[in-house]
Amino acid sequence: MQISMWVPYDEARLRRTITLVMRPQIRIVRVLGGVIVALGLFLLAFSDSVLFGALFTVLGVLFMTALGPFTAARAVSMQSRVIKDGFQMTITEEWLTVVYPLAESRFRWAGIDNIVETPEAWYLMAGRAQSFTIPKDAMTDEQRAEFATFLTAERERQAGRAFLN
């Protein structure tokens, strides 16, 4: 298998990738926000401190609703200019290679921990904080089918390897 494609820079795709990678951390922040709201409501109901109760309630609601999108927007704005030119992606049985005009990365499939498939892309998770996006719209129908078949075989191979360890 050798799939090669040009992937143009897409800020919306980058935002979706960052949101996917940050999902476990944001879930914790939302639970914390719920706890802070409960504390604020408790203070409002059973304390003379209306100011602290209202402050905790508003702060908790912000944690639950606004902190995730704000963090994703900041992460997008902090990305290097290197990625904004798009990249050439090459997929083989052994490597995932991403070549930007000013940088290059290569990863073996054995380094991919998890694969998340959505209707628009495959997200290859390498650890808890790094992800590679393989957009389906940059591939032909034949390439998508070939890659899906490869991923199925790779998952089975890695499951067998985990079983042996």
Q: What share of the chain is helix, strand, coil (3-state, %, to 5)?
A: 60, 20, 20
Beta strands in 24-147 (DSSP E): 87-92, 95-99, 104-108, 114-117, 121-125, 131-135
| Residue 134: HSE in the Cβ half-sphere, 13 Å Cα cutoff | 22
Specify whether the CB–CB gap between 67 and 100 falls below 8 A: no
Specify whether the CB–CB gap between 131 and 125 falls below 8 A: yes
What are the tens digits of pLDDT across the range 140-165? Answer: 999 999 999 999 888 787 777 655 54
What are the tens digits of pLDDT across the range 29-88? Answer: 999 999 999 999 999 998 888 888 999 999 999 999 999 999 999 999 998 888 888 899
Structure token digits, residue 37: 């709201």
Structure token digits, residue 109: 């499939």
| pTM summary value | 0.74
**Residue 127, pLDDT above cutoff 90:** no
Report the pLDDT value the prediction gives residue 39, as an integer from 0 to 100.
93
